[in-house]
Amino acid sequence: MSSGSSYRLYCIILSILSASPLLFVEASAQPYTANEVSVGADAQSFGWRGCPPGLASGPCQHGLDFPTVSFTYTRNLSPVVALEGTLQPTSWFMQTDGIDSGRETVALGGVKTGWRGRRWGLYGKLDAGMVSFSCGDWNWSVGTTSIAYQNCARLTHFALEYGGAVEFRKSPRYAFRLDIGHLEAAEFDHVMSRYRDGSVMQFREGGVTQHVDAQIGVSRTFGRIETTVPDRVPAKQKWDTGVTFALQPRIQPDFEYLSAYPSWGLWASRNFGNHFSWDSTLLHSPRNPGGIEDVDFQAGGRAVEFLSGVKFGFRDGHFGYFAKVRPGIITFGEADRQTNPGPCFGIGRHVLPCRLRTLKFDRGMFTDFVLDTGGIVEAYPTRHTILRFEAGNATIFYLPKNIIDFAQVFPIPERTQSSILISFGAGIRF
């Protein structure tokens, strides 16, 4: 198995394991305080996408970033549900020779939920926010000696992290905490320089970069220690269904341009109690978002995506917190199948052999497998209405195929690509 495949397999396993604490949420009362502050050391992997394999020194390095200080504020809503915000103000200067260079600032916020015992706590978490790099855009200095990372400009990107946390409470006020997660950043295409007429001279291709994010620290609670019983459980309904709007930033296998791919769709859940559901979503994204004709051998054109799988978690008061594991398929409306010579044009069009000839593409539908993992947060304003937010990682498994190029058969290998999938929806319960 290649290193890239191993890394993606790790991401899939981590996303599933991060949801496992939701299976152990218990109804018994446990002590907690409303406010909690954690101070720790945070380290990330970097350079996974930005550097060619084999370069491990100089301006291009792979590895784990030196630990830096991070701060986390936790607002406990109950013994098993909390809202969190994490800030990493700065980091060591990372020389990755790629998009994510310089000193990194991270700001994330989201939901932490799981199981809390007298001493130990086990949680899954889902956060969204931003990452910012002080030297995301840079060029070589001008002079007798070339120096990298000069004339830096800051770049900021949307980020999504999912993972888990383990806590050990040494006393009612202090605890040790270990977090590990998968951090994804959607780094869109960036224009680096232009000609005088405004046209693009140099640009950097985008992508969804992936990092392992680990943090170890100490937590201190503030406020009165309380012991409560869980809030009321919403009334059981067999079906939830509605409409949704989704964004799925991704690149296609042979075109390194990151597009947001907005989609509209429908979703439905068949509930088997308050903890387990079968959840399905149907999404449709338009042709060529952003105006660029991105068509290759395994993707292109309009896309229809169908995801169906398990949703498990719990409902507490007017909210529900769930993990999802949904396999599915994505069908692209246009993918190259055959390339043939077209008619001659220009100089020499009446002379044999033809010197200038257009290309004629034969395109058709192509279907690939998808695995969607992540979290879902639901709100129930009334007995029969629902608001829904979901976020996670949708891994596309591009299948191998054979294409015909000028009457010769060429195999196209299988590929795997991770993409961020976030959506907002509303619906009814009945």
Q: What is the DSSP letter of 141?
A: P
| Domain identity same for 214 and 255 | no
pLDDT of 193: 65
Q: Determine the average pLDDT of the residues in 361-376.
A: 82
- CA–CA distance, 247 with 263 (Å, rounded to integer): 6
Largest CA distance in the chain: 91
Query: Vertex 244, ends 242 and 246: CA angle to 5°?
Result: 160
pLDDT digits (tens, 9 = 90+) for 150-180: 777 788 888 888 888 999 988 889 999 999 9
> Residue 356 pLDDT > 50, yes or no?
no
* Phi, psi values for residue 302, rounded to 5°: -65, 155
According to the model, what pLDDT value does residue 99 have?
59
The count of domains in the chain is 2
Q: Are 199 and 347 members of one domain?
A: no
Residues 246 and 226 in one domain: no
Residue 371 pLDDT > 80, yes or no?
A: yes
pTM higher than 0.85: no
Q: Are residues 253 and 362 in the same domain?
A: yes
Lowest mean pLDDT among 13-17, 256-260, 394-398, 411-415: 13-17
Strand blocks (E) in 79-238: 81-88, 104-116, 120-139, 150-169, 174-187, 190-194, 200-204, 207-222, 226-228
195 and 116 in a common domain: yes
Looking at 230, 249, 272, the residue that finishes a domain is 230
Q: Which residues contact 126 (CB under 8 A, 6 or more apart)?
A: 110, 111, 161, 162, 374, 375, 377, 391, 392
Query: For residue 353, is pLDDT > 70?
Result: no
Which of 230, 262, 296 is the last residue before a domain boundary? Answer: 230
Q: Over the stretch 375-384, which tens digit does the pLDDT of each residue have?
A: 898 988 888 8
pLDDT digits (tens, 9 = 90+) for 180-222: 988 888 877 666 666 777 676 766 666 777 788 899 999 999 8
Q: Are residues 94 and 154 in the same domain?
A: yes
Tell which wins on pLDDT, 428 or 5.
Answer: 428
Do 226 and 236 fall into the same domain?
A: no
Q: What is the mean pLDDT of residues 223-243?
A: 77
- pLDDT tops 50 at residue 13: yes
Alpha-carbon distance 206 to 288, whole Å?
Answer: 16
Q: Are residues 31 and 7 in the same domain?
A: yes
Lowest-pLDDT range, 40-54, 255-269, 413-427?
Answer: 40-54
Domain harbouring 339, CATH code: 2.40.160.20
Mean of pLDDT values over 413-418: 80
Whole-number CA gyration radius for the chain: 25
pLDDT beyond 90 at 410: no
Q: Is the pLDDT of residue 61 over 60?
A: no
CA–CA distance, 259 with 249 (Å, rounded to integer)? 5
pLDDT in the model for residue 166: 92
Q: Same domain, yes or no, for 35 and 171?
A: yes
Give the pLDDT confidence of 293-352 residue by residue, as tens digits: 556 667 777 889 999 999 988 887 788 888 899 999 998 887 766 555 555 554 444 444
pLDDT band at 3 (very low <50, low <70, confident <90, very high): very low
Structural domain span for residue 424 = 232-430
Do 132 and 158 touch, CB atoms closer than 8 A? no
Give yes or no: residues 98 and 223 share one domain. yes
CA dist., res. 162 & res. 422, Å (int): 13
Torsion, Cα of 204, 128, 46, 86 (10° steps): 130
% of the chain at pLDDT higher than 70? 68
Dihedral sign for Cα atoms in the order 342, 345, 347, 349: positive
∠ at Cα 186 (194, 209), nearest 5°?
100
Taking residue 9's Cβ as centre, other Cβ atoms within 10 Å add up to 13
Q: What is the pLDDT, as a whole number, of residue 412? A: 77
Same domain, 290 and 212: no
- The tokens describing 215, both together, are 């943090």
Q: Of 4 and 17, which is predicted with more confidence?
A: 17
pLDDT at residue 370 tops 70: yes
| 128-150 pLDDT per residue, tens | 889 888 887 766 555 545 566 77
* 266 in the same domain as 338: yes
Q: Is the dihedral of CA 130, 329, 17, 118 positive or negative?
A: positive
Domain boundary among 186, 210, 230: 230
